[in-house]
Amino acid sequence: MSTVQGRLRIAVQKSGRLSERSLDLVRDAGLRVVKGNNDLLYRVENYPIDLLRVRDDDIPTFVADGVCDLGIVGENVLEEGRNGGPVAEVVMPLGFGRCTLKIAVPPTLAYDGPASLEGLRVATSYPRVLRRYLEAEGVQADIVTMRGAVEVAPRLKLASAICDLVSTGATLEANGLAAKETVLESQAVLVRSPVAPEPGLQPLLDSIIERMAGVVSSQGAKYVMLNAPRSALDRITALLPGAGAPTVIPLSGRDDAVAVHAVCQEAVFWETLESLKGAGASAILVLPIEKMM
């Protein structure tokens, strides 16, 4: 019952920090998304797939229950959704939506580790994750659940400390709070349902997952081509960031030099090119990779 009328469903955030990147991933995996009149459901025109556009908080349940076969959601939301029931299984991290759930305190609180929170009130939108963290630290504190604007809680004397998402730290700074503990590192993940799709749709599901894995692993990857003196080949190969064994090709009419082609999994910076040049490389080309499998 994971699909209705023989279609796969992918749950994505309707509107928020993950929406655009989630749609990009779906499109990069070759799914042509058509926005119809129905705001809740986008159709994919070239495969029997629908995108269900919902609040991110609902995605773990939809996927765990088999209402959707796949979902894209932050690990923070997935962890908060754990309630002992069926769980959406993490397929892979997606490399975007990175943030950290942190405990932060105002300067008026003398803080010396999690034990300082004993007996205090801590405001958060992630009560379950925080509860587990405090339990693991052996700290008893009152948790005040807030849907948003958690950072104002200390100023309003609603709580002595907060536990909220941080990425740049600008919001904490604007509210005069200092981050103290990391409760959870998070990024967007692809999740799949423990409920199997209709038998006929399993190959499509597998192929979408494989394509998405290809999209994620090609992100930031570059194809580097250069010419190298044979004598400097080892040194130059060692300078290529995140490259496996490169392809070495003879250059016609030149015994002393070869062409080197390599897929670099890590960012190729100008500094890397300068080092390569310094080691004797020439005609260096860095090309984007569109697809990888």
**Binding string, 115-154, against ligand ATP, x = CB under 6 A?**
----------------------------------------
Q: With binding defined as CB under 6 A, does residue 127 bind ligand PRP? A: no
Shorter beta-carbon distance to ligand ATP: residue 146 or 248: 146
Binding mask 29-68 for Mg ion (x = CB under 5 A): ---------------------------xx-----------
When asked if residue 16 is in the footprint of ligand ATP (CB under 6 A), the reply is: yes
Say if CB 262 and CB 240 are below 8 A apart. yes
Tell me, residue by residue from 163 to 192, as one string, x for binding to ligand PRP by CB under 6 A and - for no binding. Answer: -xxxxxxxx---------------------
Nearer to ligand ATP, 43 or 98 (CB): 98
CB of 175 to ligand PRP, least distance (A): 9
Position 194, amino acid? P
How far, in whole angstroms, is CA 118 from its chain's centroid? Answer: 33
Q: Does 203 bind ligand ATP (CB under 6 A)?
A: no
Q: Check: CB of residue 240 under 8 Å from CB of residue 226.
A: no
Complex with ligand ATP: residue 181 or 198, whichever CB lies closer: 181
Summarize as ranges the residues that interact with ligand ATP (CB under 6 A): 13, 16-18, 55-57, 74, 76-77, 97-99, 165, 167, 186
Summarize as ranges the residues that interact with ligand PRP (CB under 6 A): 17, 148, 164-171
